[in-house]
Amino acid sequence: MAMLSSTSSAAISADGPAPEDAARSADESGSIRQKPWLAWLWLCLALLGLWLLLGLWLRNERQVARAHEGEKLQSLVQTLDGIVSQQLIAIQAALQTVDAEYDHWRKEHKQADGESMLQTLTRAMPGVRLLMVVDASGRVQVSSMPELLGRDVADRPYFLQSRQHPQEGLLHITPPFQTLLDDRSVALARTLHDAEGHYQGVLVASLDPDYFSLVLATVQPSEDTWAAIAHESGAMFAVQPHVEAWIHRNVLERPGSVLEQHLRSQQPSSLHLQESRLSHDVRLVAARTVAPDSLWLDQRLYVAVGRSMASVEGLWRRQLFSTLLGGSALTLLAPLGLYLYQRRRHIVEQLRRQQRRVERDSAARTALALEGAALGLWDWNLLTNETRFDKRWCAMLGHVPHEIEGHVSAWEDRLHPDDGPVVRMHLQRYLCGELTHYTQDYRLRHRDGHWVWIHANGRIMARDAEHRPTRMVGTHMDISAAKRAEALLQAQAQHTQAILDNMVDGMITMDARGRIDAINPAACRMFGYSEGELVGQRVELLMPETERPHHAGHVRRYLETRVPHVIGIGRDVSGRRKDGSVFPMSLAVSEILQDGEPLFIGLTRDITERKKAEAEIEQLAFYDSLTGLPNRRLLLDRLNQALAINRRNHRHGAVLFIDLDNFKALNDTLGHGMGDRVLVGVARRLQAALRSEDTIARWGGDEFVVVLHDLGQNAQVAGLHAEAAAEKLLRVLSQPHQLDGHQHHSTPSIGIVIWGGDTGSSEDLLKHADHAMYQAKAAGRNRLCFFDPATQAAMAELTALEADLRQAIDCQQLELFYQAQVNEEGRVVGAEALLRWNHPSQGWVSPARFIPLAEHTGLIAQLGEWVLQQACAQLGLWAREPHMAGLTLAVNVSAHQFRQKGFLGFMQQLLARSGAPTDRLKLELTESALVENVEKVIALMVALRGLGLHFSLDDFGTGYSSLAYLKRLPLDQLKIDQSFVRDLVSEPNAMAIARAVIQLGESLGLDVIAEGVETEAQREALQQQGCHAFQGYLFARPLALQEFERLVVEWPAGGRG
């Protein structure tokens, strides 16, 4: 017990070793550390000096090896130079001999003597393969090889060189070339001259490459030596060892070659390093220029001998290896020896310190254990109530040791008031022996004022003679973080339970056998059971019997595959309540593991209201709200399905498009309410008159569509059935409707299209049926009409033409033509601007085709604006040309364009912008433009007349002219329509109408012009009746601008009679 007390006290009070022990240990360790540091420093310096000396020695040895090898190579290349030079001198002497004898052979015709002499010289010189004499024309006259006699060698380099440089005594050395004998050689050539010094030819000696290869082999001291002879051009003549790739390359083409370096040195002999392109090894090469003093050479040969640096430095590299090996061994062994020496000295010091370290370590381990466990230590003397707290205990409460008094009251004062009674009772029971151990959680006040949760453990360490406790030792651990985490988990659990208790969706927990483990209140309310009634039951209890096999299959597939989406994807199923009622619900299942066992959590939601809403949405989306019939969307879906089935079974059907005649009048007279009642009645009659498998839909407004299915495999039979059904509908829908005492008679117009085989899309069928319905209306209404493909083709053509017409303006396909207008004297006084369309694929399109189409589609206004813009611009240009300035220009203005809002402003801006003379512009209007809203028309014409414009009434007499308003219009001219002019001579009525128009114009003070005048008889008849202006093919057809201007210029000054 005494030992426990002393150990505990030491652990509480000790913060480190005694100061005097620490100082002594520091002195000892410092003296020990200083000596090793010095020894290692001296060792490093010694090894560094050793390696420096070795490096200098090795560097010097390498330089000596290179210099020695360089001298050997220089000697070899000098020897090789001597051999080659001797050959060149010998060949020069031989050629001089032949030069001296050649005139004798030629004059004495002793060619055989010359061949004999050349053969003798060739045999005497082992380095020469061929000697020959070539005349000035390039033909061989004498040769050591008779087979070459007469050969033309004018294209050979030796002949060309001697011809270009014919100096006497100059020895030409050619680059290596392919000889007449099909081998590679170098030729030496000497120029032949006659007594007067004229060029006579050339003496040629061809060198034997095999001989020179043998010479190169003789100077190779070892297998790794390389020797070569090269021409000044860079071409290789001989190489040893022989490598074919070296023979056929030019060494000067490679930057940094030995020959290039040698030439740059400008020395007769030089030494170089070169990396081989083929083997990539570095060589030491000696090069020398072959240049005998006694010879005059036009080009030089060069000899070179080289050796691989790997062989040159072989001995040095072996020295390098052995030196590095020895130095490395010394470098490794020296530190090892020093280390062993110092370790032996260190062991002695370690043994002396070991005992002191063991003593300190015991106290340090105890402190470390307490520090690592974050435990604070307390020691309580129960006899005196003196208490000792270590620094960690104090730190838990934010204090340092001297701030805590050594009495048990320091602990009691900091105890939480709510925890005090329980803590004291628990401690008392332990001291009395009722509890075997003391452990408790409670709160102590921190220095900052907050409460720290403490986990306390204690043990009685000493008792008196009567076995009463006298000393108690224990630890404190700060468990505030754990308590906070525990509180957080408890709050989360309560929050989760509150969510489960109050969530709208039901949640059911099941085990792997499908038995319900837990269920929340929402699920109980949903199924009508209490929690006690469901826990332990199989989940199939909550499903209709029809759903149970399906559910079992889902579970089985999931257990076999463990693929989450088999059960995890939410799906709509049916649930069964306690009272047996079935309702729709959504179900999503997920799996978790609890204690290693799978647990399934199912989320359910009653979707009865959602299903009702979906049904209502479907009703609104696919059915007409007024009649309850399928709407356009559902009709298209069913028609597409019918067409798909038809492609498989080849059956025919029909589409009937029904429109109620004059339904708008009913709405306007009796109101929309009555109209709706009629529509509902029509829907009921259609449903009663047709088969249940047929589709009846409201297309919109007063239009209905009927799809008749399965009318047979024959198209004619299907047509008969469709016609019978349509006639029945005509009868049924023509019956009067009773509307609050009123009888409303309504009739339908029905368009029919038969479908079967390749009938196109549903949209095409409906479009065709719609067209047929409009044909029925056009035929008088209250009838049926089958779709006519020819009519459809014509409409499609018009549709395409309309699309092209919309692009015509932007694509500059429109053009103005001009037809001359002449007076009674035959002079051109004006023109009418006529619109023409040059279609890119159809050519010129007749105005009779595209003008009505433009009026029908509303494009006539845009076309009219373009015509006016072009006409005004042209008038502005004519005003500056004397021969055109007096002409008037008539432009047709459609009724639609004339009645457009802003037409007056448009004309004002156009005239101001173009600069056209307003008194030369004449607007031609038809009667249809004037009969509606006469007062506004007159006001507009007066305003335009104020701008200076003139008006002509076009096609007068073809409509229903009213003299009452005609005399009020500010017109300037009446135009007799060409329909009257055409029949003028043959038809008395036409002549009477023309005469009446002319007389009307005279009485109103208006000019009269006749259009369509094509014969002289027509012109004379009109002129006799008082018409003074004419327009037609008799004078000129409509012309393009340039043709019309040329027509006016060339028109006779006196006019055409």
What span, in angstroms and rounded, lies between the C-alpha atoms of 576 and 538? 13
341 CB contacts (<8 Å, ≥6 apart)? none
Residue 149 sits in the same domain as residue 262: yes
Task: For residue 940, give the CATH number of its domain.
Answer: 3.20.20.450
Which residues fall within 8 angstroms of residue 775, CB to CB, at 6 or more apart? 751, 785, 788, 791
**Pair 603, 663 in one domain:** no
Is position 357 within any domain? no
Spatial CB neighbours of 283, under 8 Å, sequence gap ≥ 6: 226, 273, 274, 275, 276, 306, 307, 308, 309
**Exposed e or buried b for every residue in 42-68, given b needs 16+ CB within 10 A?**
ebeeeeeeebeeeeeebeebbeebbee
Find the domain containing 148 and state its range: 65-312
Q: Give the list of residues 6+ apart from residue 747 with CB closer than 8 angstroms, or none.
A: 660, 661, 662, 730, 733, 734, 781, 782
- Distances in Å between the Cα of 983 and the Cα atoms of 183, 980, 994, 1012, 1019 are 108, 6, 10, 11, 12
pLDDT of residue 1054: 67
Number of domains making up the chain: 5
* Boundary of a domain, candidates 572, 590, 611: 611
Residues 658 and 514 in one domain: no
Residue with tokens 């056929």: 248
Q: What are the pLDDT digits (tens) for 572-627?
A: 888 899 998 999 988 888 777 777 777 888 888 888 888 887 777 777 777 888 88
| Same domain as 891, residue 753 | no
Would you give the distance in Å from CA 774 to the centre of its chain?
A: 51
Q: Is residue 318 part of a domain?
A: no
Q: The domain that contains 607 carries what CATH number? A: 3.30.450.20
Within this chain, do residues 206 and 291 fall inside the same structural domain, yes or no?
yes
CA dist., res. 856 & res. 870, Å (int):
23
- For residue 360, being part of any structural domain is answered with no
Q: Are residues 517 and 481 in the same domain?
A: no
pLDDT digits (tens, 9 = 90+) for 430-442: 999 899 889 999 9
User: Exposed, middle or buried, 216 (CB in 10 Å: 0-12/13-18/19+)?
Assistant: buried
CATH number of the domain enclosing 655: 3.30.70.270
Asked if residue 296 belongs to a domain, the reply is: yes
Q: Are residues 875 and 1020 in the same domain?
A: yes
Q: Is 904 inside any structural domain? A: yes
525 in any annotated domain: yes
Beta carbons of 824 and 1029 less than 8 angstroms apart: yes
H/E segment holding residue 821: strand 814-823
Q: Under a CB-based contact definition with an 8 Å cutoff, are residues 308 and 281 in contact?
A: yes
Count other C-beta atoms under 10 Å from residue 22's C-beta. Answer: 12
Q: Which of 167, 117, 164, 168 is nearest to 143 (CA)?
A: 117
Q: Are 929 and 967 within one domain?
A: yes
Residues 1017 and 959 in one domain: yes
Same domain for 723 and 861, yes or no, is: no
Residue that is last in its domain, among 267, 295, 312: 312
Classify residue 599 by its DSSP letter: E
Residue 10 belongs to what H/E stretch?
A: helix 2-13
Q: What is the pTM of this model?
A: 0.37
Establish if 14 belongs to a structural domain.
no
One domain, residues 907 and 975: yes
Mean pLDDT by 10 residues, the chain (1057 residues): 36 40 44 65 84 82 76 81 83 84 76 82 85 88 86 85 83 83 83 82 87 78 79 81 70 74 82 70 83 83 81 70 80 80 77 69 57 76 90 88 85 91 92 90 92 92 90 89 85 74 80 86 90 88 84 72 60 87 86 77 85 76 86 88 81 91 79 88 93 90 92 82 91 89 87 80 87 86 82 64 84 93 94 94 88 81 93 94 93 88 92 93 84 81 93 72 70 90 86 89 91 93 93 95 94 72
Domain boundary among 260, 286, 312: 312
Does the N-terminal peptide bond of residue 241 adopt cis geometry, omega within 30 degrees of 0? yes
- The answer to whether position 353 is within a domain reads no
Question: Are both 840 and 755 inside the same structural domain?
Answer: no
